[in-house]
Amino acid sequence: MMFSKTLKFVEAEKVQTDPFQSAKTRLVQNLETQLKCAEAMVKGESYTVPSTKTVTDADGVKKTVTVPHAPRHWYWRDREGNIRFCIRVFNKRMEFEEGKTDILVGKDSELPKTVKAVIEAANLGEFDPHLKRLLEKRQKIKAS
């Protein structure tokens, strides 16, 4: 008796994911990366993550190598010397009030505390309405 005759084959099941939950999970993951970047900045170090890159060597052979990659920072220093932080979703700044996208942090040493507070707020669902609004905008753009 053939092995394949004893098995029952069916069609592949498509997994339905919730776009909102995926976006929220991705936001928290990105915020944790920003926290690591902020902690490294306070220590005077740089934070990198491994990334793969395809390169062609001298013989013309393509191969994949792992290289360090610095994530894009969501914080910067303004004209007065204060640190500002913004939350990005789908590579767009999250708007909390009309025209207000930045969080004024102040000193460098306050940045990790601020990012931790933002992560906690995201986990508690405080950004859910803003996230849903951005998700709806994105779906409208993709639909048209």
Q: How many domains does the chain have?
A: 1
Give me the helices (H) in 90-127, please.
Answer: 111-124
| Residue 16 counted as domain residue | no
> Tokens 């099941």 identify what position?
13
| Residue 2 counted as domain residue | no
| Residue 67 counted as domain residue | yes
| Residue 136 counted as domain residue | yes
| Residue 90 counted as domain residue | yes
Task: Give, for 49, the enclosing helix (H) or strand (E).
Answer: strand 49-56
Across the chain, mean pLDDT equals 90
Whole-number pLDDT of residue 1? 52
C-alpha distances (whole Å) from 26 to each of 19, 20, 38, 121, 132 are: 10, 10, 18, 15, 14
| Residue 7 counted as domain residue | no
Identify the three-state secondary structure at position 106.
strand
pLDDT, one tens digit per residue, over 61-88 is: 999 999 999 999 999 999 999 999 999 9
Q: Which domain does 86 fall in, by range?
A: 22-143
Whole-number pLDDT of residue 8? 84
| Residue 13 counted as domain residue | no
Contact indicator for 89, 131 with CB cutoff of 8 Å:
yes
- The pTM for the full model equals 0.80
pLDDT, one tens digit per residue, over 89-131 is: 988 899 888 889 999 999 999 999 999 999 999 999 999 998 9
For the stretch 104-107, contacts whose Cβ atoms lie closer than 8 Å and that sit 24 or more positions apart, written own/partner, are 105/75, 106/82, 107/82, 107/83
| Residue 125 counted as domain residue | yes
Average pLDDT estimate for 133-143? 81
Whole-number pLDDT of residue 127? 92
